[in-house]
Amino acid sequence: MPLMEPDEARYSDTPSFMNSSGDYVTPHLNHVVYLEKPPLCYWATALLFRIFGENEFSSRLFVALCTWGCILLVFKMGKHFHDERTGMYSAAIFSTFLFPFAMGRINILDIPLTFFVCLATWSGYLYVLSGYRKKGWIYLLYIASALAFLAKGLIGVVFPFMIIGLWLLSYRKYREVLKLFSPVGIALFLLLSLPWLILVQRANPDFFHFFFIQEHFLRYTTTMHHNRNEPFWFFIPIVILGTLPWLAFLCKVLKEKSHDMLSLLKAADRRFLLIWFFFILGFFSLSSSKLVPYIAPVFLPIAVLFGYLFGVYDTNQDIQTEKSGDKKFLCHLPVILQSLLFILLLVVPPFIKRSRIEGGTIIINPEKWWLLVAPLILIQILIIFLPDMVRRRRQRGWFATIYVLTAFFWVLFIFPISEFLTPYKSAYPVVQAIRTLLPKDQKLYQYKISLYGIDFYNKIRTPIVDDFGEESFGIAKLPSEEKKEYFLSSEKFYKLCRENGDIYCVTQYKDRLEELKKHIPHADIIWSNNVYYLLRLHC
């Protein structure tokens, strides 16, 4: 799948510019200073670009490695809490949760943040359990917190210490909270994080105010970065959907009077995992700024709890033979409804011949679509009855059957998702048209859009018309001549078209196309996929 707009293209363009400019201190986006996020993920991607070239694989590789880090961490957590089998069940569940499977495949900063935050939290927990004797864990807590800070900011420091601190306070161990502060740990934290802070502040004197006040305090307390305030419960349905398909099987697992399933998990262990989950959920629920990827760190403790429950159920011989009846059907009903819902989502798109997506129109090729979704529909049908059939006949294999079917489903699901999303969520279709149809050395303008993928894929710099957004801070730092050339108001762009004759531009959605035609009557569409339009403007 090509890079998606805006996140993946943004987090590819920035490390690409680092490599081309040699400036690894001050991140740039679209050739302007971009200080919203720290540089760790940019550095990692820039290095991978050097090794593997600039492509989708190398762009997403660091996030993929961090996702694997989360899987291995979940395994270690499950193994610690009970045994190696629990670790394996937990890791298997986490790797096939909808949320980490989807987010671990795209270039966003939240998954690296999640890995380092969770690694820090787990290290602090083990340090406490060691009786504060194994100093390596407290040092790893500070090192991982520093990396989390360099991945996305102060939240990487707040989460680990708050979770561990609240866990200790829940047992009224007030004095032990102070044992989390280590002079050596602080020195390690500063050794990793302070050099960049000093260098970037020296290069950008207004960095501290912008980064710490605007991008942390104001982002959390206001809606300045998003034009709507999501409700308090915004993340609850995301957590529910993110734990599919395993949440649907949970009723079946819990119906056996739970068999005291959590009794073998110590109360302290359960309390730690629950504090981890509820603190992060509550923290982001209280925030004025809410985005789907923020909630990623909660899925590790959920996976460990699920892993233990499913492991006990799957291997308990007393549960292997189930009695028939209404209770059994009701507990199996969520699985049936889930499969029917997935099948419905797969079947509906071809019957909506022209569906409006964010103001554009998407036309689905029915023949190709059915070819892509037929195996997925079959898998969802199998999930309804095959796991129970395997268990009845072999007395084992229930969990493994669900896992294998789910893994195949998610992998195959990538292809119709790519088919559906690429035309309007990636700049790649218009990138290919630009390569073919834009005359050599001709400047290309972006009208009221800012598609970072155009610059990244084509290695050009496109002037932007009236869509400055997150680039406004950096634009203000530009020399006046550069600002006039590459960041134009609509009025100046119309004037430029009238004065210079032929102008090439790209825009998105019909409403912007119609608006442009009102001011520039001679706007020839030289390419379109009904979402993006490549135009030649002339007067």
Helix (H, G, I), strand (E, B) or coil at 146: helix
For 146-184, the pLDDT digits (tens) are 999 999 999 999 999 999 999 999 999 999 999 999 999
Mean of pLDDT values over 403-424:
94
CA distance 129 to 72: 20
User: How would residue 261 be classed by pLDDT, with cut points 50, 70 and 90?
Assistant: low
Helix 135-152 and helix 183-203, axial crossing angle in degrees, nearest 10: 20
Enumerate residues 6+ apart whose C-beta is below 8 A from 328: 322
Higher-confidence residue: 317 or 95? 95
pLDDT for res 365:
82
Task: Give 357's contacts (C-beta < 8 A, 6+ positions apart).
Answer: 424, 531
- From the list 425, 325, 305, the residue with the least C-alpha distance to 1 is 425
Over residues 442-452, the mean pLDDT reads: 95
In this structure, are strands 464-465 and 487-488 parallel, antiparallel, or unpaired? Answer: parallel
pLDDT exceeds cutoff 90 at 315 = no
Q: In sequence order, what E strands does 274-408 have?
A: 354-357, 360-363
Beta strands in 368-452 (DSSP E): 444-447
Confidence of residue 262 (pLDDT cuts 50, 70, 90): low
Res 317 pLDDT > 90? no
* Residue 85 pLDDT exceeds 60: yes
Is pLDDT of 320 > 60?
no
C-beta atoms surrounding 22 within 10 Å:
7
At residue 204, the 3 state secondary structure works out as coil
Is 0.85 surpassed by the pTM of this model?
Answer: yes
Q: Could you identify the residue written with the tokens 């032929």?
A: 502
CA dist 353 and 275 (Å) reads 47
Res. 355 pLDDT band, cuts 50 70 90: very low
Domain boundaries, the chain: 35-309, 320-425, 428-537
Q: Where are the alpha helices (DSSP H) in 218-325?
A: 219-221, 235-242, 246-254, 267-286, 299-315
What pLDDT does 347 receive?
92
d(CA 74, CA 94): 8
Percent of the chain with pLDDT over 90: 74
User: How far from the centroid of its chain's Cα atoms is residue 137's Cα?
Assistant: 28
The radius of gyration of the chain from alpha carbons, rounded to an integer in Å, stands at 26
pLDDT in tens, 493-521: 999 988 887 899 999 988 899 999 888 88
Confidence tier at 255 by pLDDT (50, 70, 90): confident
Residue 359, pLDDT above cutoff 60: no
Amino acid at residue number 300: L
Most distant CA atoms of the chain, gap in Å: 83
Which residues 6+ apart lie within 8 Å of 199 measured at CB? Answer: 25
| 294 close to 110: Cβ distance less than 8 angstroms | yes
pLDDT of residue 263: 62
Asked if 127 and 134 touch (Cβ cutoff 8 Å), the reply is yes
Distances in Å between the alpha carbon of 370 and those of 343, 416, 419?
12, 9, 12
Q: Assign 225 a pLDDT band (cuts: 50, 70, 90).
A: low
Token pair 């409804």 in the structure block, residue: 337
